[in-house]
Amino acid sequence: MAHDIEIIEKTPAEFEYKKRRSDRLMRSQLMMFALMIFMTLISFAAVQAGFSAYFVIPVVLLLAAVQVGLQLYYFMHMSEKGHGLVAFFMYGGVLLAFLTVLAFVTIIWW
């Protein structure tokens, strides 16, 4: 099954480069995590503050959408190369999800 894999020993310079690159990725992921915590706090605070529902609902939905984007692209690596088919599956799923929710909240009225 795995006959096409050859083991390539990295030179010290290559190894150092790989380590630095993964450290950089880790730092950016940590920053995204801080951002997600911050957005969660804003969402909860906006609801607790008791603003009008017409203001709060769009804001918390927008923050949720951004947070999910960060999860997908930074934590689940969809921003990296080789994720074309992945994007196709996920956007296909999201499109169907959107249509389903739209149909249920507009057509069903009881």
Partner 1 sequence: MDLNTKFTPQSWPDHPETATMEAKNKFVGFWLFLGGETVLFATLFATYLALKNSVPDGNEFRTETLFELPLVFVMTMLLLTSSLTSVYAMYHMKNYNFKAMQLWLAITGFLGLGFLALEVYEFYHYIHLGFTYGNSAFSSAFYTLVGTHGLHVAIGLVWLTLLILRNAKRGLNLYNATKYYTFSLYWHFIDVVWVFIFTVVYLMGVVG
Query: Pick from 68, 105, 61, 109: which is nearest to 90 by CA?
Result: 68
Task: Give min distance, CB of 110 to partner 1, in A.
Answer: 7
Q: Does 92 bind partner 1 (CB under 8 A)?
A: yes
- Asked if 71 is part of the footprint of partner 1 (rule: CB under 8 A), the reply reads yes
In angstroms, what is the minimal distance from the CB of 35 to partner 1? 11
User: CB within 8 A of 74, min separation 6: which ones?
Assistant: 28, 29, 32
Question: Cβ distance 18 to 10 under 8 Å?
Answer: yes
- Asked if 42 and 63 count as a contact pair (C-beta separation under 8 A), the reply is yes
Q: Which two tokens stand for residue 30?
A: 């940590």
Q: Does 38 bind partner 1 (CB under 8 A)?
A: no
- Do residues 90 and 78 lie in contact, with contact meaning Cβ atoms separated by under 8 Å? yes
Q: How far is the CB of 106 from partner 1 (least distance, A)?
A: 10
Question: Which residues sit at the interface with partner 1, rule CB under 8 A?
Answer: 1-10, 15, 18-19, 22, 25-26, 29-30, 33, 36-37, 40, 43-44, 47-48, 53, 56-57, 60-61, 63-64, 67-68, 71-72, 75-76, 82, 85-86, 89-90, 92-94, 96-98, 100-101, 103-105, 108, 110
